[in-house]
Structure 1
Amino acid sequence: MILDELVTATHNRLERQREKVSLPKLKQEVAKLNATAKLDFLAVLQRPGIHVIAEVKKASPSKGTIVTDFPYLQVARTYEQAGADAISVLTEPDYFKGKLRYLNEISAATSIPTLRKDFTIDPYMVYEAKLNGAAIILLIVAILTDEQLCNLRKLAESLGMQAIVEAYTETEVTRAVRSGAKIIGINNRNLKNFAVDFGHSFKMRSLVPAKIPVIAESGISGPADVKRLAQADFKGVLVGEALMKATNKREMIRAFKEF
């Protein structure tokens, strides 16, 4: 399964990175950071309307290279100028061609929250996210135990970040709620085979208590999809491929924000 391969690659990457920078050293670097943080993303989601997480994404396992021209800083600035509420940055290098450097530079160049989009499996990656400017991390229920979900979320919060806890199945959504997640993402993409079903998130929405903001992820292609999600009480959408391929990214984001 693709997900198993991604997790294995992440473990291997972690081992290589620990040889370069130890966890104690990483913690020291994080401790030196200026205490000033970007706007709390949970507070953003509590505002009226639907909120857009616009993704900077070069490739994926299912689509291969999405764009050959990749001016990531320009794209990120365009997203912010168009009214995006946060920017998702792929940092997984083996399958998504992401880099931590992209996150670092985009976080420095923009004023809205940035999300480290990766397969976070260890506290080391949470500290990496913080050091490189992230205000949000992604925690995928399918690859974490209940203890890990809780501990990694609490660590992120202790560092001034928020966690989007991502689920796909009914069991995963239930686990996300039980873990104490403050933000839940429902993925329309099955990470075991990368098949996408836009209607999937609607089926899962009722499993999440109304007090927890829910974000729909994957398979969102245009304003009509966002309108349906807004009507179903989703508080946010994470859009990657459609925005990366859009000839007018500003116009697309502004159309999303009308609902």
Structure 2
Amino acid sequence: MTILDKILQQKQHEVQQLLTQQTIQQVSRPSRPSLFDKLYHSKHLQVIAEMKRASPSKGLIAEGADPVAQAIIYEKSDAACISVLTDAHFFQGSFEDLAAVADAVSIPLLCKDFMIHTVQIDQAKNAGASVILLIVAALTDEKLSELYSYAVAADLEVLVEVHDEMELKRALALDAKLIGVNNRDLRTFEVDLQRTEEIAALFPFHEKRVLISESGIWQAEDALRVSKAGANAVLVGESLMRSDSVAEAIQSLQVATQGVVR
């Protein structure tokens, strides 16, 4: 059983628990700017900054980190979006973290989790997310389409995550506008930035879409590499959580975009 299999097995259990609880009461929250617009029109590589306490591959990264304090630093440091991990079992996150961050910042807010059911999307929106993540590797075509349509109908933006050419084709079949390349293989958790270059070589930039490079981004050289490939943004968690100067770290990643024809 791969790490992804174990995570999805746990998610099935969590979803069953959610479905036995009372209906989620919708909370009215102010709208947030469009993440797509922010990334598509930018002249430099944007940073999606992640609140991340732990991971299956690295163990504890920032145990006890305050999500609100971290989010405020991210917003003040000109992050384009804040990603909040809401998985509790493997990443030590929570929807309470997401709701607390939503009350503290006004920029786009991504709920980072392993979505397999619409009830999780309801929960994410209720906690203040303006963007959700759908991982192609975790979903059948039917379920991917169902969740994507459900989220869009709920006025949420959707970041569709891929890892190889076949998954890119599946994301494009949805007409996804925000597509992320996970440089980490969720089956083995090995990281390789070449993934972004391989997907970018096949990416239809002329179709008004944006490409986000996720995982393995530590320094300016990494940012330059994926920017040259065509990435509009990077999603960065561990390196920012470990940084002594978040503002400087984010600034170092905001390199000029490298002139990919769009």
Q: What is the TM-score of this pair, normalised by structure 1?
A: 0.94
Secondary structure of 1:185 counterpart: strand
Secondary structure of 1:94 counterpart: coil
Confirm or deny that 1:165 pairs with 2:160: yes
2:146 and 2:21 map into 1 onto residues whose CA distance is: 25
For residue 147 of structure 1, report the CA deviation from its aligned partner.
2.0
1:13 and 1:77 map into 2 onto residues whose CA distance is: 30
For residue 231 of structure 1, report the CA deviation from its aligned partner.
2.1
Amino acid corresponding to residue 119 of structure 2 in structure 1: Y
2:227 corresponds to which of 203, 227, 230: 230
Q: Which residue pairs with 1:19 in the alignment?
A: 20
1:147 and 1:206 map into 2 onto residues whose CA distance is: 27
Secondary structure of 2:179 counterpart: strand
Confirm or deny that 1:41 pairs with 2:24: no
Structure 1 stretches of 5 or more lacking a match? none
For residue 162 of structure 1, report the CA deviation from its aligned partner.
0.5
Q: Which residue pairs with 1:193 in the alignment?
A: 188
Name the stretch that deviates more: 76-85 or 225-234.
225-234
1:132 and 1:121 map into 2 onto residues whose CA distance is: 17
2:115 corresponds to which of 120, 123, 135: 120
1:147 and 1:162 map into 2 onto residues whose CA distance is: 19
Amino acid corresponding to residue 132 of structure 2 in structure 1: I
Report how many residues are paired. Answer: 252
Name the stretch that deviates more: 61-70 or 241-250.
61-70
Contact 2:18 2:119 in 1 (8 A): no
| Percent of pairs with identical residues | 36
1:100 corresponds to which of 95, 99, 103: 95
Amino acid corresponding to residue 217 of structure 2 in structure 1: I
Q: State how 1:108-257 maps to structure 2 within 5 Å.
A: 108-210=103-205, 211=207, 212-257=209-254
Q: Which residue pairs with 2:63 in the alignment?
A: 68
For residue 125 of structure 1, report the CA deviation from its aligned partner.
0.7
Name the stretch that deviates more: 152-161 or 118-127.
152-161
Contact 2:193 2:226 in 1 (8 A): no
Question: Where in structure 1 do 4 or more consecutive aligned residues deviate above 2 Å?
Answer: none
2:7 and 2:143 map into 1 onto residues whose CA distance is: 18
Secondary structure of 2:89 counterpart: helix
2:55 and 2:117 map into 1 onto residues whose CA distance is: 22
Confirm or deny that 1:85 pairs with 2:80: yes
Structure 2 stretches of 5 or more lacking a match? 257-262
Contact 1:150 1:180 in 2 (8 A): no
1:245 and 1:108 map into 2 onto residues whose CA distance is: 24
1:138 and 1:95 map into 2 onto residues whose CA distance is: 17
Contact 1:6 1:95 in 2 (8 A): yes
Amino acid corresponding to residue 253 of structure 2 in structure 1: F
Contact 2:201 2:229 in 1 (8 A): no
Name the stretch that deviates more: 88-97 or 149-158.
149-158
Name the stretch that deviates more: 203-212 or 92-101.
203-212
Amino acid corresponding to residue 217 of structure 1 in structure 2: E
Amino acid corresponding to residue 10 of structure 1 in structure 2: K
- Cα-to-partner distance string for 1:73-106 (whole Å, 9 max, x where unaligned): 1111000000000001000111111111000000
Contact 2:196 2:229 in 1 (8 A): no
1:160 and 1:178 map into 2 onto residues whose CA distance is: 20
Q: Which residue pairs with 2:9 in the alignment?
A: 8
Secondary structure of 1:92 counterpart: coil
For residue 258 of structure 1, report the CA deviation from its aligned partner.
3.8
